[in-house]
Chains A and B, each alone.
Chain A
């Protein structure tokens, strides 16, 4: 008898069953079986492709969810049942997790509760708010009366596993098409319940508009739900209070939130009021504030007064909103005036405004320039533009302004120097005696600026006229190589001066010594002798969310214990256990998605794996191996547009599949002579001006006004010494 039967039930709604079954197949189950109660032909065909590992129970179209569940459960042989709707998903390894936890439980436990994630068409894998209730109970099992708050868990069947014997004993009472009712009832019937405080389910909320419409009368189902549940908690004070809370919340919300026709609304209110009075526990206290007033009115059955209260409340909200909008507009007007007035004041030659990646903080080329500025021109005071959220991340003592504030507009109006690696907002006015320095934030592979006009997927509604207005403000544009200089010329046609001085942010690759490399590795916890591979894929414009392109667990496995993967991508979400958790624990996989500065990661890594990210041009400065992993080059080239063919002009090796990538590392090809040759050509082309003195040249040229001839010349690439490799640094 397997420990767990995963019962997938329902029609192949919007095709999600395929993903679900694929994910189940990708992680073979040891102590669990899969039963698919497939409703309709499509679901049956889909499930058929996964036999013989799965048991398929074909059911005719139109079979209700409840009937499908029952049919699936009838074929299940596991000790525990986990009902999974065909539209939902299971995070990797979830069945194993549930089976392992279930194996610890004896037969007095009837229900095992889990945490889940929620996915909608526009947001992926949002954590639930259930964790705290599960955490409060811990790992001991107990009767519901001692842990009544568990009723507050999202009422899904997917976030609870049921012991099969319990299901058989209560099957009739749990067979209802109202899923929340079945979910609550399972808890109320259970002798004892246990918790697994980990994410083991992914609930997909389909667009309500894609489901059959609800008739106004269907709202009465909510009242019926609670009328049928409350008797189960009649003499149990704690569950009753919680259930009553939930009922009142749902009733008030439905009544207030749905625009029901008056007749239905009156009837709903009458029935809801009856339920509110009938089931009110002794010594129950209403919540405080407005919500308490609502409860009291509902209990009194005072429909007219409730409506009046509602109207008053709406009027209050509308008034408040009007006041706020007005205030905001007034404030905007005031700021604008202040900005205009400040623009008439003389420019302050001792003031420089810095910004990077919109308002992210001290980063990239602007950060490197600011650091050098402090040494070479300490009389110029730097002020950073940082969004409110990011002020926490500023180095202590950084003078900064938050966008929209009075001082923000003042410094933007009066600063002589404005430095950014993207553009300042359209509202910023270019004063003739102010100097705008555009540093950019990477050597272009993908098409930029006006060149995006032919690639609507990339441009995504970019306003090209406004773009031109923005680039007209530039006085200087920093470039790291003649490729960039030429591409900027065509992408951003305007009358700025190109500073062919190299990228200031890459100086660190020449100025750092062995101690910096060792320090970066210590910070990340990479043991000496291990090979650290930095994996930094770029964001895809043609994808809405993040799609993993590599099976990291497998890659780590194949590369062996001596390889550490530094991953800069959103592979990890809150608490979900996956094979990655184990790898993280053992230090073989490190989540560096938010690491800052990224240059330090480069210093620490023995090799770089990327697809089309501009990090490859920076990393090439270190003269360390680079492997391009481009599984979708054709798509990328077509949708985004590119300036050169990376497949031929690559920096070392190219892999088109995960298999090839693995082989490149296992065979040693990543650092063989071919790779070195390709890298040498790549460096010659793209590391042209990066010699470690870029920031100095930019500061002396722009802030100190020295002529180009007076600047230190760019060192030929043969004469540069990049920072030692980790191998050299730890030798």
Chain B
């Protein structure tokens, strides 16, 4: 370990635990920073794989890199970060996880914001990259849309949603002045640390530039998922609630009790929402344990926080709080996908309530009143239905016969047979399979549709990806499409389909989605000549410019 004579401008700490594979990428992104005068500390939480060798090699390659190895494993992110703060020499500090990266200009732009105006920390946009499909999105884009300096979190409590500690550059003096360190021995330390930083800071600057690249693998196997992704464990729920209580206490102690409703709203909208999406997949025992931990905490939240949520989320919360766990599971399916309840019940005054009864408590009536979904009056294209597959029978080849039940709690469809269509669009080409939905009782329709995936028209270059069929309904020339909910679990089946008489073969899989909302999932995988010849060749030829020109020509020839 060499120590240069001068003080660097910024210290960036990379924490790592048993991640020798990705550590070099993280460090490389730091070494490639446009602002070169930085110190890089690799803080190793006592890894047991090749990490130490890799880290030492990296340190040997670049004098700016220092390697710090904890004497024993701490199991969290806090200890490695705190140890690094102890030895960091720069006046500004940043943190990076070994599986993520910093964009090249991150340090430069955050440091420039510090130099422009004296603030306690600066923060920027986080770019999220999905490992499975490469899709990029900006995390909480509305919060970081414009450059601004916020004088105290009260000025914009929405920022509580941006609870990452990594996308920020802290003035060391700020951390030291308040003795602010990452809390050790708990999970979700980021949330507490960020809440404290937001509350303690007199001013902080937000810049719209991307300053952090966050790689997420939302569907990684549960075992290998990072700590924050292990929602199936009851201890995970307990940890999350625990950290909330710590934050709540801190808000009171630090004189920020006024932020409570905003913080509660953030908890419901973000943290609780993640569990809510999983509810359909949990067994009764888990649900009971979940309710035991969650409900006492929910009782302490500000009522105003509930009122700010979209109605479907309020319904799930209320069903959970009133012990209707099986109902909560139903209500949680298709959250955010405009899926209607199976049934609503109207009271004497005409107000519709979720489910088959009018709630008997005042809170229940307030939370389960779904009038604001306007089920019976919203224009047809946005009307809400619930399409469920009740039976799924494999046919010959790549065909599958589905028994579909459609719930229409708003009684939008005239009682009579409906022309429905199943829509799947692999490779941008739409396949519509018409079928008939017959009324079986008020607001319930049933039909059967045979979906033959060999009949799909794939583009020349084939198609690789997944699709979820939609159910489409028509009324007076207006269309309505809704997701098709499948049984939560059924054995997947893969078939080889010789599209275009064998010139573009694919393997096609019919499977459950396996996560909320639990749609029917179809997966196309090019095989044989499609995978070996056609796609690689086209991939080489079809540069964006060629593609654009081809599109124009195609639109002209239409």
Residues from 385 to 436 in A contacting B, C-beta threshold 8 Å? 389-396
Name the one of A132, A523, A524, A581 contacting B381, with C-beta atoms under 8 angstroms: A132
In the complex, per-residue mask of A702-722: 1 if CB is within 8 Å of any chain B CB, else 0: 000000000000000000000
In the complex, per-residue mask of B463-481: 1 if CB is within 8 Å of any chain A CB, else 0: 0000000000001111000
B380 and A288 contact, CB distance less than 8 A: no
Residue ID in chain B nearest A97 by CB atoms? B377
Name the one of A130, A198, A393, A590 contacting B377, with C-beta atoms under 8 angstroms: A198
B440 and A389 contact, CB distance less than 8 A: no
Known contacts A592-B414, A594-B416; A392 and B421 CB within 8 A of each other: yes
Known contacts A316-B556, A586-B346; A596 and B378 CB within 8 A of each other: no
Tell me the complex Cα distance, A536–B420, Å.
25
Tell me the complex Cα distance, A581–B380, Å.
14
Residues from 404 to 427 in B contacting A, C-beta threshold 8 Å? 411, 414-421
B residues near A390, Cβ cutoff 8 Å: 419
Tell me the complex Cα distance, A115–B374, Å.
14
B436 and A525 contact, CB distance less than 8 A: no
A585 and B346 contact, CB distance less than 8 A: yes
A488 to chain B, nearest CB (A): 30
How many B residues have CB within 8 A of the partner chain? 41
Name the one of A392, A395, A584 contacting B376, with C-beta atoms under 8 angstroms: A584
Tell me the complex Cα distance, A389–B377, Å.
27
Tell me the complex Cα distance, A15–B451, Å.
54
Residue ID in chain B nearest A130 by CB atoms? B379
A residues near B439, Cβ cutoff 8 Å: 523-524, 595
Residues from 590 to 623 in A contacting B, C-beta threshold 8 Å? 590-596
B442 and A587 contact, CB distance less than 8 A: yes
B residues near A596, Cβ cutoff 8 Å: 416-417
Known contacts A131-B381, A131-B382, A392-B435; A585 and B411 CB within 8 A of each other: yes
B416 and A585 contact, CB distance less than 8 A: no
Known contacts A395-B436, A523-B441, A593-B414; A577 and B377 CB within 8 A of each other: yes
B228 to chain A, nearest CB (A): 30
In the complex, per-residue mask of A508-525: 1 if CB is within 8 Å of any chain B CB, else 0: 000000000000001111
Decide yes or no whether A582 CB sits under 8 A from chain B. yes
Known contacts A290-B555, A393-B417, A584-B376; A574 and B478 CB within 8 A of each other: yes
Decide yes or no whether B551 CB sits under 8 A from chain A. yes
Tell me the complex Cα distance, A522–B442, Å.
8
B436 and A197 contact, CB distance less than 8 A: no
Q: How many A-B residue pairs have CB under 8 A?
A: 122
A396 and B448 contact, CB distance less than 8 A: yes
In the complex, per-residue mask of A553-589: 1 if CB is within 8 Å of any chain B CB, else 0: 0000000000000000000111101000110111100
B379 and A574 contact, CB distance less than 8 A: yes
In the complex, per-residue mask of A11-24: 1 if CB is within 8 Å of any chain B CB, else 0: 00000000000000
A596 to chain B, nearest CB (A): 5
Name the one of B376, B435, B478 contacting A585, with C-beta atoms under 8 angstroms: B376
Decide yes or no whether A199 CB sits under 8 A from chain B. yes
Decide yes or no whether B434 CB sits under 8 A from chain A. yes
A198 and B374 contact, CB distance less than 8 A: yes
A residues near B352, Cβ cutoff 8 Å: 585
Decide yes or no whether A183 CB sits under 8 A from chain B. no
Decide yes or no whether A134 CB sits under 8 A from chain B. yes
Name the one of A392, A524, A586 contacting B434, with C-beta atoms under 8 angstroms: A392
Residues from 341 to 360 in B contacting A, C-beta threshold 8 Å? 346, 350, 352
Tell me the complex Cα distance, A316–B440, Å.
51
Residues from 258 to 302 in A contacting B, C-beta threshold 8 Å? 288-290, 293
Known contacts A573-B476, A574-B379, A574-B380; A593 and B416 CB within 8 A of each other: yes
Name the one of B346, B414, B421, B476 contacting A127, with C-beta atoms under 8 angstroms: B476
Interface residues on A, range: 35 or more
B483 to chain A, nearest CB (A): 16
Tell me the complex Cα distance, A115–B382, Å.
13
B373 to chain A, nearest CB (A): 10
B residues near A197, Cβ cutoff 8 Å: 374, 377-379, 382
A134 to chain B, nearest CB (A): 7
B residues near A130, Cβ cutoff 8 Å: 379
Tell me the complex Cα distance, A389–B383, Å.
22
A553 to chain B, nearest CB (A): 14
Tell me the complex Cα distance, A592–B435, Å.
20
In the complex, per-residue mask of B441-461: 1 if CB is within 8 Å of any chain A CB, else 0: 111000010100000000000
A584 and B411 contact, CB distance less than 8 A: yes
B residues near A170, Cβ cutoff 8 Å: none
Tell me the complex Cα distance, A656–B33, Å.
88
B309 to chain A, nearest CB (A): 12
Decide yes or no whether A305 CB sits under 8 A from chain B. no
Tell me the complex Cα distance, A591–B372, Å.
24
Name the one of A135, A139, A391, A590 contacting B379, with C-beta atoms under 8 angstroms: A135
In the complex, per-residue mask of B481-513: 1 if CB is within 8 Å of any chain A CB, else 0: 000000000000000000000000000000000
B residues near A139, Cβ cutoff 8 Å: 372
A residues near B436, Cβ cutoff 8 Å: 392-396
B407 to chain A, nearest CB (A): 14
Residue ID in chain A nearest B145 by CB atoms? A237
A residues near B418, Cβ cutoff 8 Å: 594
Name the one of A135, A289, A594 contacting B551, with C-beta atoms under 8 angstroms: A289
Decide yes or no whether B28 CB sits under 8 A from chain A. no
Q: Which secondary structure dominates chain B's binding surface?
A: mixed
Residue ID in chain A nearest B350 by CB atoms? A582
A207 to chain B, nearest CB (A): 22
Tell me the complex Cα distance, A464–B383, Å.
47
B414 and A523 contact, CB distance less than 8 A: no
A693 to chain B, nearest CB (A): 28
B76 to chain A, nearest CB (A): 39
Tell me the complex Cα distance, A392–B417, Å.
10
B379 and A591 contact, CB distance less than 8 A: no
Decide yes or no whether B552 CB sits under 8 A from chain A. yes
A residues near B442, Cβ cutoff 8 Å: 524-525, 587, 590
Residue ID in chain A nearest B558 by CB atoms? A320
A581 and B376 contact, CB distance less than 8 A: yes
A384 to chain B, nearest CB (A): 14
Residue ID in chain A nearest B449 by CB atoms? A396
Tell me the complex Cα distance, A392–B449, Å.
10
Tell me the complex Cα distance, A392–B435, Å.
4
Known contacts A197-B374, A523-B439, A592-B416; A289 and B555 CB within 8 A of each other: yes
B380 and A575 contact, CB distance less than 8 A: yes
Known contacts A525-B442, A587-B442; A595 and B378 CB within 8 A of each other: no
Tell me the complex Cα distance, A396–B402, Å.
12
A319 to chain B, nearest CB (A): 11
A127 and B379 contact, CB distance less than 8 A: yes
Tell me the complex Cα distance, A267–B383, Å.
46
A290 and B556 contact, CB distance less than 8 A: yes
Tell me the complex Cα distance, A390–B415, Å.
17
A289 and B552 contact, CB distance less than 8 A: yes
B residues near A524, Cβ cutoff 8 Å: 415, 439, 442
B430 to chain A, nearest CB (A): 16
Tell me the complex Cα distance, A567–B448, Å.
27
B419 to chain A, nearest CB (A): 4
Name the one of A127, A392, A525, A586 contacting B478, with C-beta atoms under 8 angstroms: A127
B415 and A591 contact, CB distance less than 8 A: yes
A residues near B415, Cβ cutoff 8 Å: 523-525, 590-592, 594-595
Tell me the complex Cα distance, A126–B380, Å.
12
In the complex, per-residue mask of B33-44: 1 if CB is within 8 Å of any chain A CB, else 0: 000000000000
B residues near A574, Cβ cutoff 8 Å: 379-380, 475-476, 478
16 A-B pairs whose Cβ atoms sit less than 8 Å apart in the complex: A115-B379, A127-B380, A135-B378, A288-B548, A289-B552, A396-B448, A523-B441, A525-B441, A574-B380, A581-B376, A584-B411, A585-B352, A587-B442, A590-B442, A594-B416, A595-B415
Chain A interface residues (CB < 8 Å from chain B): 115, 126-127, 130-132, 134-135, 139, 197-199, 288-290, 293, 316, 389-396, 522-525, 572-575, 577, 581-582, 584-587, 590-596
> What 6 pairs between A and B have smallest CB-CB spacing?
A131-B379, A392-B434, A525-B442, A594-B416, A135-B382, A595-B416
